[in-house]
Amino acid sequence: MKKPVIIALLAAGALLAYNALAKGAAATKLIFFPSGVTGLKFVNGSPEITFSVLIQNTSNQTMNFYSLAGNIFSNGYLIGNAMTRQGARISPNSETIIKITARLQVIGVVADLVRAIQGEGYKRTFEFTGAANFDKYQVPVNIKYSIG
């Protein structure tokens, strides 16, 4: 191969590697903010809550959101699971809202209420712990929300 072709191939490879690293770094800097409950229904006897999460992208990278999944805890006890496969494109320096469906375990919710009545009080810290897929990068997501 001629020297200019080799240099062009190396430059293209370096550019691709830089872009991949920049996207991966930007994906870990996304901000997640719980934005509100949008629905409640019962499916096969279990409560299913739909809520929205605001995703903010403060980078100069366009991010494609593919999915999110994880578990929901109340004061450290597992009470359910949440998932969405709603795709979204997040432009640089912008925000978008995604809808997440949470399937709660009846036994987990009842046990949580019993603990509250038995003396833990009614203050609750809900925590979502999971992962999101942004441009094929698995990004850890941890959202805490306290009431009471």
pLDDT in tens, 62-93: 888 999 999 999 888 888 999 988 889 999 99
d(CA 52, CA 33): 9
CA dihedral 88, 94, 26, 87 (to 10 degrees): 0
Give DSSP secondary structure letters for 112-137: HHHHIIIII-S-EEEEEEEEEEETTE
d(CA 122, CA 146): 11
pLDDT in tens, 138-147: 888 888 888 7
How many Å is the Cα radius of gyration of the chain?
A: 20
Band of pLDDT at residue 44, cut at 50, 70 and 90? confident
Structure tokens given for 39: 């629905």
Residue keyed to tokens 């809808």: 99
Q: Is 10 exposed, middle or buried (0-12, 13-18, 19+ CB in 10 A)?
A: exposed
Whole-structure pTM value: 0.72
Residue keyed to tokens 């006890």: 77
Using DSSP, how many helices (H) and how many strands (E) does the chain show? 2, 8
